[in-house]
Structure 1
Amino acid sequence: MSLPNPPKPYTQRSGSLSLPSKFQVPSFATSNTPLAMKSIPSASSTSLEDNYNLTSSAFTSEFMVTLKDDPQPVFGHENAKKFLKESVIIPLLYPSMPSWKGVLLFGPAGVGKSSLIKSVVSSVNQKYKERIKVHLFECSASGIVNKYRGESEKILKRVFSAAREVKPPQGSPSELLNVSIIFIDELDSIFSSTAHDESSSRLRVELLKHIDGVEAVSAAGNNRVIVVGATNRPWDLGDALVRRFEKRCYIALPGEEDRRAIIDYHLGGVRVGEGVDREDVVKRTEGLSGADLKVLCREASMGPLRRFLVGVSPKDFTKADLAEITPDVLGEVEREDFERAVSSTRRTVGDVKRLEMFDADFGSR
């Protein structure tokens, strides 16, 4: 019985080993340079540089806010309004006077911190339009934080550079004074001291450096820059960042007088029945924020429409029918509508006592 021939030992021949086509490895290099030494273009060095170029109008327009001539009014908070107006007006009209380089607005959610800064800027631009032009740059986590290493710091640096280099509108008087406000909303979500990762630490240090440099830039005669931050959790910012904001204003929940004004404002175009006791509604809404009161008024205003649609399907209406549904047809908002709205509207504010303690320790008077 003959045995099969044993396999011959493998001996490498001169030249390269030839493999079948299905085992062929694609060639990534066209020269003798190893693949590990090939330079791969970085996304952060191409598209990001184009999108966040300081000289491009796209970068400035992404952060600059176009304000309305008639912004929504903010009731109360006179102390915060005073500090903000002092920061903007006094140093420009009286250059020898020192200014606040940073103002921190802290308080529960929905009390109008963002609306407050926009209202103050609009009022200053209208009242002093021949002397002062205020530019508002609004920053948030989605606009600053970037996944590429080092890009968040570059974006923040370019925001401050754009605020210093912004030009007044064409045709403005030559004596017009320029001021830029960099408003950082939800400050704790970006610069929290409780975040111990490397990228957050670098970004926080970058902000501290720029706030410290605001005063030197203003003294040099360039556009004045003011930093305004808003947060619901000021204790998460850390001592170093809190110290940079020289004025710290507590934006508290609306008091009885402010709640009355807010309710009257949101019911301005609504027909309210004589049986509605507004003073009783004001007293029963203690602890609600301005945003909560807006929801309550909207809930009460839905009462006449709900009664009108009882037993009727919306698909049965034509455009002509919808045009005839006017406030006169729907009727008035009744007492029971407010009763339902007050009982169904829940407060959305957080830890008010902790905010009051922070105000007692660090708030400005």
Structure 2
Amino acid sequence: MVQHRGAQRGAQRGARGPPGGPGWAPVCPLTHEGQAAPREQLSVAMVLREVPAENIARPLGRNEVIGLLFRLTIFGAVTYFTIKWMVDAIDPTRKQKVEAQKQAEKLMRQIGVKNVKLSEYEMSIAAHLVDPLSMQITWRDIAGLDEVITELKETVILPVQKRHLFQGSRLLQPPKGVLLYGPPGCGKTLIAKATAKEAGFRFINLQPSTLTDKWYGESQKLAAAVFTLAVKLQPSIIFIDEIDSFLRSRSSSDHEATAMMKAQFMSLWDGLDTDHHCQVIIMGATNRPQDLDSAILRRMPTRFHINQPSVKQREQILGLILENESVDSSVNLHDVAKETDGFSGSDLREMCRDAALLCVRDFVHNQSDSASEDFIRPIHQSDLQKAIGKMKKSKSAGGHGALLHAALD
């Protein structure tokens, strides 16, 4: 039966003649179920029948291969740049990241770091590097804190500068964390800058906004990059000003991303992978140490209470502020220091600036007099008295904020 049907179909094809010839007509192919094939399959079958078999089997020529490769190259390039443009358009922080990378490369050259490969996240952190040579703050610019400066030199700077003397001891290694706490305006940030300047450490001024990112998981990677960068640049100081806003006490109401970032930061600070000989110091400054997490306080065993200056300290601060100014010889700084009870270092500087402005104001008012000489008079005791009264009024108007005077221990 099968042979009979095959012979009958062959006779029908012979009756129609060769493909394309007179009397030839395509036969609608049938599927294995006996139904008519779709129109797409029919058209493909017709095209394949019209193409000679030798054209399908022959290899491509040289010009055809070159043309095919050229078309594939153009298609790949267009696809790559299209996808890249779409990714850049989706990420609004791409421009800031590029600028941060350029700034990081510039700072790395300034501090003399060469042949150090940094990742993308480390480049973002490196944009906040501070060159110690460019800092203008030294120990001589800080007055009234001699005891704190001496202890900092002995406990933080000396173990790093004289590392060979303490290699055999794990107790005499530099601390992993240093906390400077006390009322605002008393010199906590100045001490951190002077420490980095005098010790020659690489100084990373870490801002909480640097570690925040809208993409999930990026904050943890940035927190890890802080420590990996500090290790590559050691000896280094990671300074966090107002550390209470970044590492405050954890609670169940914290956001998941914030909690994970804090946990990542603390685990890398003093976790299983930390090295006891690593010369990385985290220094924080705050006027609200009671808001810090207990785990953070444990990681900062070296603490310095920078309280409001005493009468003697205020006199030293006034002498430092007015050192290069034109001051009348009759000015008694000891009496001025007695009248400025409750003033911080920044308050004393602002008070001296107001006194100097009074001299400038007199110069402007007397400038209309042609007989007057063209010079600004020195600061008198009366100018300081007026400036003290003005500062007390501004402090009383600002409210009696509770300043921290008690130590943590």
TM-score w.r.t. structure 1 length? 0.69
1:116 is displaced (CA, Å) by: 0.1
The match for 2:402 among 340, 351, 356 is: 351
Are 2:153 and 1:76 equivalent residues in the alignment?
Answer: no
Counterpart in the other structure of 1:21: none
Aligned-partner Cα distance in 2 for 1:286–1:215? 49
Cα deviation 1:322-352 (Å, max 9, x = unaligned)? xx95xxx111212221111001114489423
Q: In 2, Cα distance between the equivalents of 1:185 and 1:291? A: 17
Q: CA–CA distance in 2 between the matches of 1:246 and 1:165? A: 24
Question: Is residue 2:187 matched to residue 1:138?
Answer: no
Matched, 1:206 2:264: yes
Alignment partner, residue 181 of structure 1: 237
State the alpha-carbon separation in 2 of the partners of residues 351 and 214 from structure 1. Answer: 40
Q: Within 5 Å, which residues of 2 pair with 1:36-55? A: 43=91, 54-55=118-119
Of the three residues 365, 379, 384, the one matched with 1:310 is 365
CA distance in 2, matches of 1:336, 1:214: 62
Q: Tell me if the contact between 2:250 and 2:259 (Cα under 8 Å) persists in the aligned partners.
A: no
Do the aligned partners of 2:144 and 2:314 also contact (CA within 8 Å) in 1?
A: no
* Mapping 1:1-365, distance limit 5 Å: 43=91, 54-55=118-119, 58-59=123-124, 61-67=126-132, 68=134, 70-72=136-138, 73-85=141-153, 86-90=155-159, 92-93=163-164, 94-98=166-170, 99=173, 100-125=175-200, 134-166=201-233, 178-193=234-249, 196-213=254-271, 216-219=274-277, 223-310=278-365, 329-346=375-392, 347=395, 350-352=401-403, 355-357=404-406, 359=407, 361-362=408-409
2:125, 2:210 within 8 Å by CA — same for their partners in 1? no
Tell me the SS of whatever aligns to 1:97: coil
Moved more, 208-217 or 46-55: 46-55
Contact 2:268–2:274 (CA under 8 A) maintained in structure 1: no
Q: CA RMSD in A?
A: 3.0
Task: Please give the alpha-carbon distance, in whole angstroms, between the structure 2 residues aligned to 1:108 and 1:292.
Answer: 12
Q: Which amino acid aligns with 2:230?
A: A
| Matched-pair contact (CA < 8 Å) for 1:101–1:226 | yes
1:272 positional shift? 1.6
Q: In structure 1, what is the Cα distance between the partners aligned to 2:295 and 2:336? A: 43
Amino acid across the alignment from 1:260: E
Contact 1:104–1:228 (8 Å) recurs in 2: yes
Aligned residue type for 1:274:
S
Q: 1:265, 1:45 → 2: CA distance?
A: 44
**1:183 Cα deviation from its structure 2 partner:** 0.9
Specify every segment of 5 or more residues in structure 2 that has no aligned partner in the other structure, as ranges: 1-85, 105-117
Q: Higher relative contact order by CA 8 Å / sep ≥ 6: 1 or 2?
A: 1
Q: CA deviation at 1:79?
A: 4.7
**Structure 1 residue matching 2:203: 3-state secondary structure:** strand
How many Å apart are 1:150 and its aligned residue? 2.7
1:18 maps to what in 2?
none
Q: Alignment partner of 2:185: what SS?
A: coil
Q: Letter of the aligned partner of 2:205 in structure 1? A: E
Query: CA shift at 1:244, angstroms?
Result: 1.2
Q: Secondary structure at the match of 1:342?
A: helix
Aligned to 1:19: none
Q: Deviations over 1:225-281 (max 9, x none)?
A: 111111111111121211111112111111222211211111122222234332111
Q: Name the CA shift for 1:336/1:66 in 2 (closer, same or farther; >3 Å).
A: same
Q: Scaled by the length of structure 2, what TM-score is found? A: 0.62
SS of corresponding position for 1:249: strand
Shift of 1:48: 7.8
Equivalent residue, structure 1, for 2:82: none
Name whichever of 81-90 and 259-268 sits farther off.
Answer: 81-90
Instruction: Give the aligned residue type for 1:112.
Output: G
Work out the CA distance in 1 between the residues paired with 2:261 and 2:146.
33
After TM superposition, the structure 1 stretch with the greater mean CA deviation from structure 2, 304-313 or 279-288, is 304-313
Which one-letter code corresponds to 2:144 in the other structure?
G
Unaligned runs of 5+ in 1: 1-39, 126-133, 167-177, 314-323
How far is 1:146 from its partner? 3.0
Say whether the 8 Å CA contact 1:191–1:203 is kept in structure 2.
no
Alpha carbons 1:88, 1:179 under 8 Å: kept: no
